[in-house]
Amino acid sequence: MNTKVTIAGVELKNPVMTASGTFGSGAEFSEFYDLGALGAVVTKGVANVPWPGNPTPRIAETRSGMLNAIGLQNPGIDVFVKRDIPFLKKYDTKIIVNVCGKSEEDYCEVVERLADEPVDMLEINVSCPNVKEGGIAFGQDPKALQHITEQVKKRAKQPVIMKLSPNVTDITVMAKAAEAGGADALSMINTLTGMKIDIHRRTFAIANKTGGMSGPAVKPVAVRMVYQTAQAVNIPIIGMGGITNADDALEFILAGATAVSVGTANFANPYAAKEVAEGIENYMRRYQVEDIRDLIGAVR
C-alpha cells in the first residue's frame, strides 16, 4: 500500500500535515506522539522581526468552530532559526515554514534567511485576515498576489506554497494568479472573516472585533474551493478547513487535494493529525486502494 505523495519534488510519507498556527512548532505535541507519524509539520507564521500579536481576548468559541485574531504573534526569524528548526530536525518528517510579513520586502527577507536552513518547503501566508497591513492585502488582489509570488520565487531555495484566502469572490482567480507567479503549490483555506458579539458585556467577543473562523463549520466551503481550484490549475493543492478525522481528510483528497492539514482539531484532540493519517490507511485497506494517488481528485 502506498501512502506517499510528492509535492514539488518533496516526498511526504503520508499526505497529512499540521495547519500553521495550530501546532506551534510541534514541541507541545511531541509529548503526545512521535512527529514522525506525520507527512510534514507546518510551523506557526514567522516574520523578519518579532510581532507581539493583537490585544486580548483573541479567541472565541463558535458553534462547530472558533474565531481567532492572534495577529501572527511570533518570535521573529532569528529565534525561530535557532530554536524551532533544530527541534523539528530531530523528527523523521518534512518541515514546512509558514512565512508572514507586512510588505513584500518583509516576506523576501524571511525567505532569504531560510535559504540555507534545512527546511523542505515554504508556505507564504498572504491570507491572514487579522493583520492590518500586508497579509491579506496580497491575498485579495490577483496582481499583487502574482507579483509577491514572483518576488518570493526569485529568492527562495525551497519550493513555494502560496496559502490562499477564502475571503474572495472567486478563489480560482487567485489560484491562477499564484500559479502564473510561479508558485509550486497552493494551500487553502485560511480562515473566513467572522464576528461574535458578547451579549452580556455588550461588546465584541474578540478585541480585534473580527476574527478568522475555522473548524468543522467551514469544511464544506473549503472542500468546494479545493474542488474548484483543482479544476483550474495544474499545481498541487494542500487542502484544509475543518478536518477533524480521516473521513474529512478523504473528502479533500477526493476533491483534488494532494495533501491535507489538520488545524483547529489539534486543540480539542492533540492526537488528531496522527489519527487522520492512521484513518486514511484504514480506509485504503477497507476499500483495497493500493495507492493514495488513485484517490486524488477522483471525484469530478
Ligand X SMILES: Cc1cc2nc3c(=O)[nH]c(=O)nc-3n(C[C@H](O)[C@H](O)[C@H](O)COP(=O)(O)O)c2cc1C
Residue 57 burial (C-beta neighbours within 10 Å; 0-12, 13-18, 19+): middle
Verify whether residue 108 is a known catalytic residue.
no
Q: Which three cell numbers stand for residue 109?
A: 527577507
Closer residue to ligand X (CB): 55 or 291: 55
Closer residue to ligand X (CB): 271 or 293: 271
Any known ligand binding at 191?
yes
Any known ligand binding at 26?
no
Nearest to 246 by CA among 15, 67, 87, 24: 15
Any known ligand binding at 241?
yes
Closer residue to ligand X (CB): 26 or 241: 241
Catalytic: which of 95, 121, 126, 128? Answer: 128
Q: How far is the CB of 108 from ligand X (least distance, A)?
A: 17
Q: How far is the CB of 217 from ligand X (least distance, A)?
A: 8
Closer residue to ligand X (CB): 44 or 102: 44
Are 211 and 195 spatial neighbours (Cβ–Cβ below 8 Å)?
Answer: yes
Any known ligand binding at 9?
no
Closer residue to ligand X (CB): 37 or 131: 131
| Interface with ligand X (CB under 6 A) | 19-22, 44-45, 68, 70, 72, 98, 125, 128, 163, 190-191, 214-215, 218, 240-243, 262-265
Distance CA 167, CA 193 (A): 7
Q: How far is the CB of 121 from ligand X (least distance, A)?
A: 13
- By beta carbon distance, the residue nearest ligand X is 21
Q: How far is the CB of 103 from ligand X (least distance, A)?
A: 17
How many Cβ atoms from other residues are within 10 Å of residue 6's Cβ?
12
- Give backbone dihedrals phi and psi of 212, rounded to 5 degrees, phi first: -95, 130
Any known ligand binding at 74?
no
Closer residue to ligand X (CB): 22 or 146: 22
Any known ligand binding at 59?
no
Contacts of residue 168, Cβ cutoff 8 Å, sequence gap at least 6: 139, 140, 174
Question: Cα-atom radius of gyration of the chain, to the nearest Å?
Answer: 18
Any known ligand binding at 24?
no
Q: How far is the CB of 291 from ligand X (least distance, A)?
A: 26
Q: How far is the CB of 165 from ligand X (least distance, A)?
A: 9
Active-site residues, by number, are: 128
Could you list the residues known to form a binding site, using ranges. Answer: 20, 44-45, 68-72, 98, 125, 163, 189-191, 215, 241-242, 263-264
Could you list the residues known to form a binding site for FMN, using ranges. Answer: 20, 44-45, 98, 125, 163, 189, 215, 241-242, 263-264
Could you list the residues known to form a binding site for substrate, using ranges. Answer: 44, 68-72, 125, 190-191
